[in-house]
Every structure is written in C-alpha cells, then in structure tokens.
Structure 1
Amino acid sequence: MLEVRDLRTGYGGVEVLRGIDLSVAHGEIVAVLGANGVGKTTLNKALSGLLPLASGSITFDGRALGGSPIAAVEAGLIHVPEGRKIFPNMSVQENLELGSYRRGRAGRARNLERVYDTFPKLRQRMTQMAGTLSGGEQQMLAIGRGMMAEPKLLILDEPSLGLSPLLVEEMFDLVKRLNADGLPIMLVEQNVVQSLEIAHRGYIIENGLVTMSGSAAEIAADPDLKRAYLGL
C-alpha cells in the first residue's frame, strides 16, 4: 500500500532523514517508533507532501507521491498530526465537516454518523467549540476529522501524547478497532511497549535512519531495544 525507498529530506541545508526505507501493507498496523528528535514528524510531513524530497521515492496505492499535500489527500493518505491541530474557535461538527473538504464530500452525512457512532462523546458535543474540549476529546476529534476523508491509510502522529494512562489505553483500543474494520494504520509513537502490543510490524528510527525492523513480536523481544527504550 505504501512503499518508501531511500527517503532523504530535511530543513534548509540540514538533512534529517538520511535514507528511510519502510512499507505498509493492506490491513496492517505498522508502528514507527523512536524518541523525540529522531525524524518521525519529518517523515510524516514528507509522506503528506508538506516537505519536498531531496531524494528517494514515495509510492502510495500504486502512484508516486511527493511534494503535494493535495495529491496525498486525494489519494487517501490521511495524516492526523501531532498536537491534534483542531480549529478551536469552530464547533465539533464544523471541524469534522472540514475533514471532507478535499476528499469524501459525497459521503459526508454517512461518514459523520460513523464518526459519531465511534465517538459518542463527540455527538453529545457537536455544537460545542472544539477548543473547550478535554485533551482526550480533542484527540477523538482529530482522528474523527481524519476519518471524514475516507482514508485508505491513516497516519497517526503521537496520538497518545499528553493523555492520561486510562485515555492512552482507550486510544490504543480505538486503533485496534479501526484496523479491525479494515483500515491500515501507520502509528508513529514514542510509546514503544503499547504500540508493539497492537502492531503487526514495526520500525525503530534513530538519527534519521531505520535501525531495526521486523514483526512487532521480534522487535519487542530484541535485547538492544529493551536496553535502549525500556532500561532492561
């Protein structure tokens, strides 16, 4: 579904990604893991067309992408950014409707019902200003807005960031449910343990390079990862 080969990009003259290779197949949850500052958000921006590629290629659903956020969205590659990036002075429903501005407009009413069925709290707050929601509700809204675009692949950038432990559990359960309904998900996270518990495969990024990849079980059992991330 998604094939990334020798991807290099950065900011100004600074190269952040130094030759990334990764893929996501139909039906998978793929975890992309690493600490702050290793290039995870830069990768998401490159995949979404927000950063030009210095070299390499991005192929999504059989077509070449790179450098055009409009082309990425129209192809069905939908990115829920780190920090939610909702519109605080607009209502919950207005935020959701904006998710179908470029893609999914014909199915807007049907998709709204699907989002409200997935997140009953958003139905209760549909006329409320988005900026007055709790952190967990804002994350629901950001994911719901992504669902409105009828994604073929959903990229979730740090969805557990800033949430309480209970809401983190709910967020990972939600990712599993969306995937069980057939949606491929690329889960970009610092939360290594819980991400590998629900993912099919994973990649570890360090200093702009993939340093480890394989099945989630293989990565979770790797002694180097346990030392680096879990202190074991």
Structure 2
Amino acid sequence: MLDVTGLRAGYGPAEVLRGIDLTVRAGEIVAVLGANGAGKTTLNRAISGVIAVRGGTIRFDDEDIAGSRPAAIVSRGLIHVPEGRRIFPNMSVRENLVMGSYARARANRARNLDRVFATFPRLAERTRQAAGTLSGGEQQMLAIGRGLMAEPRLLILDEPSLGLSPLLVEEMFALIGRINAEGLSVMLVEQNVVQSLALAHRAYIIEQGEIVLSGAAEALAADPALQKAYLGL
C-alpha cells in the first residue's frame, strides 16, 4: 500500500531524513517509533506532501506521490492526523467533523458522521459544543474522527497519545485497534514504545533521520538493543 524508499527531506540547509525505507501493507498497523527530534514528524510531512522531498520515492497504491500536492494525496485516501490535534477550537464538534469531508467523501458525509459517532460516542454527546472546550482526550478523538470522515485507505496518526493521561492513553490505543480491526491500515507514529509495540503488527525505530531497527513488533519488543535504548532494561 505504502512503499517509501531512500527518502530524504529536511528544512533549509538541514537534512533531517537520510534515506528512509519503510512499507505499510493493507490491513496493518505499522508503528514508527523514536525520540523527540528523531525525524518522525518530518517523515509524516514528507509523505503527506507538506514539505518537499529531496530524494527517494514514495509510492501509494503503486503510484509515485513524491512531489504531489497535499490535496492530491488526500484525494487518494492517504490521510494524516497531525501532532497536536489541530482542531478548529471555535467551531463545533460537528463542524470540525464536516470539515474532514471537505476534500474527499463529501457525498457520504451523513453516513460517515454516523460511523464516527458510533466509534466515539462521547463526540455524539457534544455535537454542538465548541471543540476548544473539549478535554484533551476528546480533542484527540475529534482529530481522528475528522480524519475518518475522509474515508481513509491509510491513516497516519502522529503522536495520538501525546499529553493524555495514562488512562486515556489506554483508551486511545484500544480505539486505534478497533479502527484497524474494521480493515483500516494505520501508520502509528509515536514516542510510546511499549504500547505501540503491543498494538502494531510491525515497527520501525528511527534515530537521527535513519531507520536503525525494524521487524515484527513482537520481536522488536524483545530486542535487547531496543530494551536498553528505550526501556532502560
């Protein structure tokens, strides 16, 4: 579904990504893990067309999308839920969700609203509430729900657990698992190594713009190098 080869990208004179290779297959949850500043968000932005690609290829459904405009990438069904939620705080919950179908799946808006409310019942209780008054966990649900409104074929989630309490983190990961169980492919970009590896099928570890470890999530969780670097074991 997604095949990234030799990807290089950065900002100004600084090169952040130094030859990234990764794949996401249909139906998978693939985790991309690393510390703050490792290059995870730059990777998401490059795949989504927000920043220019300096080298390598990005193929989605066997079509090269490197250099494509973000709107064109969205129209193909590759949807990126950015770090920090980026909701519209002065708009209602329902208005935020409707914005998610602005560029794609507009004809199915009513059906997709029902689907989002079934997935996130708390949002259904707050349709007229200003999004900025929601709790952090509810805002993250709204950001993911807005992404689902576009009928994604691949959903990139950038740090969905950031700033949430441990209880809400558990709930958020469970929701991601349920979304994937319905057939949606997910690229989960996170600092939360333990829970991401428990949820994902496969994973990549990124450091200083390069992939340093990759493989089945269960195998990586048992890898001594990863345990030492990230878990302090």
Q: Shorter-normalised TM-score: what interval?
A: over 0.9
* Equivalent position amino acid for 1:157 in 2: D
- CA deviation profile, 1:12-40 (whole Å, cap 9, x unmatched): 01000000000000000000000000000
TM-score (norm 1): 0.99
Equivalent residue number for residue 48 of structure 1: 48
Equivalent residue number for residue 193 of structure 1: 194
Equivalent residue number for residue 22 of structure 1: 22
* RMSD between aligned residues: 0.5
* Equivalent position amino acid for 2:21 in 1: D
How much does 1:133 deviate? 0.4
How much does 1:143 deviate? 0.2
What stretches of structure 1 move > 4 A for 4+ residues in a row?
none
Q: Which moved more, 1:59-68 or 1:147-156?
A: 59-68
* Equivalent position amino acid for 1:137 in 2: E
TM-score (norm 2): 0.99
How much does 1:124 deviate? 0.7
Equivalent residue number for residue 11 of structure 2: 11
Question: Quick check: 1:153 aligned with 2:119?
Answer: no
Distance in 2 between the 1:89 and 1:15 partners? 37
- CA deviation profile, 1:58-95 (whole Å, cap 9, x unmatched): 00012111231011100100000000000001000000
The residue matched to 1:55 in structure 2 has which SS? strand
The residue matched to 1:84 in structure 2 has which SS? coil
Distance in 1 between the 2:226 and 2:168 partners? 25
Equivalent residue number for residue 105 of structure 1: 106
The residue matched to 1:125 in structure 2 has which SS? coil
The residue matched to 1:16 in structure 2 has which SS? strand
Equivalent residue number for residue 167 of structure 1: 168
Equivalent residue number for residue 81 of structure 1: 82
* Equivalent position amino acid for 1:56 in 2: G
Distance in 2 between the 1:126 and 1:111 partners? 14
- CA deviation profile, 1:85-132 (whole Å, cap 9, x unmatched): 000010000000000000010100000000011111111100010000
Distance in 2 between the 1:61 and 1:147 partners? 19
Aligned residue pair count: 232
Distance in 1 between the 2:18 and 2:52 partners? 14
* Equivalent position amino acid for 1:84 in 2: R
Question: Quick check: 1:208 aligned with 2:228?
Answer: no
Distance in 2 between the 1:129 and 1:217 partners? 41
Gaps of 5+ in 2: none
Map 1:59-138 onto structure 2 (within 5 A): 59-67=59-67, 68-138=69-139
* Equivalent position amino acid for 1:54 in 2: R
The residue matched to 1:54 in structure 2 has which SS? strand
Equivalent residue number for residue 38 of structure 2: 38
Distance in 2 between the 1:122 and 1:231 partners? 38
- Percent of residue pairs identical: 70
